[in-house]
Structure 1
Amino acid sequence: MGESGHRPTVPVPAAASCGPISHAIFRLTRLHKMVAASLLRGLGLHPGQELLMMQLWEWGPQRQADLAALLGSDSATITRTVRRLERGGFVRCTPSPTDGRSVIVSPTAAGNALRAQVEAMWHDLEKRTTEGLTEAERDATLAAIQRMECNLRETD
């Protein structure tokens, strides 16, 4: 443990020394996803499936193409995610009444029943992720992450 009571940070390899923040984001993202996956397994979900369900809970049934756009994902990934959720009984897919090429994805009763558990899981994940940070540090971290996201969106 370091002087602050935390484990020492992972050294940045020389090849990544020109991008220490990018390297730290990569490591943090990987760890965050691993912890999230572990928590989601208990709900019968894979990472990312809860994000799709959140969209359905918030805005109701959606065209599959709209879900892909909302989640910033490609159609193949969304199709795979929807199929897994459908096999799990969490969503139902029906043809669009106005566009025969579109599929409408709706949460089932089982999918809606997951909401409280997913919210509790996200609360737990947030607590684990931000443990030891003051409110000001959490606010500053969120602001910095949001700015970095904007920076990357502007380079698309």
Structure 2
Amino acid sequence: MPTPSDMSTHSDTALLDALQHQVAVFARRAEQSRLGGVGQARNSMDRAAYLLLNRLDQEGPMGVKALACGMGIDSSTVTRQVAPLVDAGLVDRATHPEDGRAVVLELSERGRARLEEVRASRRALMAMVTEKWTDEERDAFTALLTRFNTSLAEITALAPGGPAPS
């Protein structure tokens, strides 16, 4: 596998330095704001809870192992992060329909309503942030950020001890 120095020319170095700096700034700003949206729901759900609820909403009920694998994190981490969501009534534990010994996690009605409230708040924030952008700029940014995250997940998965891609 080529090293970053093998892949860069002098002009690439400046561009890659600018890119890594902007990613670092973005990460800091995202943590400061937690990209939590606007209004009453602002910062009312942490990133881990949002991502877990979102995955259950998009993919349906699943076991801890499948959820962990899909998110690229350890099963023990999922178990620890899901516990308060179960306690809050946002996630239900149910018996697996084909294997009565196995447990599946599913989004509760309360969880679905709460997730939609947070999504609406976050959509409002994204609308504010990109309000002066054209539709084409929003589309391009979303496509490129998705591609960036996918590539980062793939590279991370290749690293020794790295998580599986999400």
TM-score (norm 2): 0.67
Q: Does 1:25 align with 2:23?
A: yes
How far did 1:122 drift? 2.5
Cα deviations by residue, 1:11-39 (Å, 9 ceiling, x for unpaired): xxxxx996221121122123124324644
Rounded to whole Å, the distance in 1 between the matches of 2:87 and 2:146 is 35
Q: 1:142 to 1:58 in 2, by over 3 A?
A: closer
Are 2:45 and 2:118, in contact at CA under 8 Å, matched by a contact in 1?
A: no
Alignment correspondent of 2:144: 144
Structure 1: runs of 5 or more not aligned: 1-15
How far did 1:105 drift? 0.7
Cα deviations by residue, 1:53-74 (Å, 9 ceiling, x for unpaired): 1222233211111111222222
Rounded to whole Å, the distance in 1 between the matches of 2:24 and 2:76 is 24
Alignment correspondent of 1:130: 130
Q: 1:139 to 1:46 in 2, by over 3 A?
A: same
Q: 1:149 to 1:108 in 2, by over 3 A?
A: closer
RMSD, aligned CA: 2.9
Alignment correspondent of 2:10: none
1:49-128 superposed matches below 5 A: 49-96=49-96, 98=99, 100=101, 102-128=102-128
Rounded to whole Å, the distance in 1 between the matches of 2:141 and 2:152 is 17
Are 1:60 and 1:106, in contact at CA under 8 Å, matched by a contact in 2?
A: yes
Q: 1:30 to 1:76 in 2, by over 3 A?
A: farther
TM-score (norm 1): 0.71
Which structure exhibits the higher relative contact order, with contacts defined as CA atoms closer than 8 Å and separated by 6 or more residues?
2
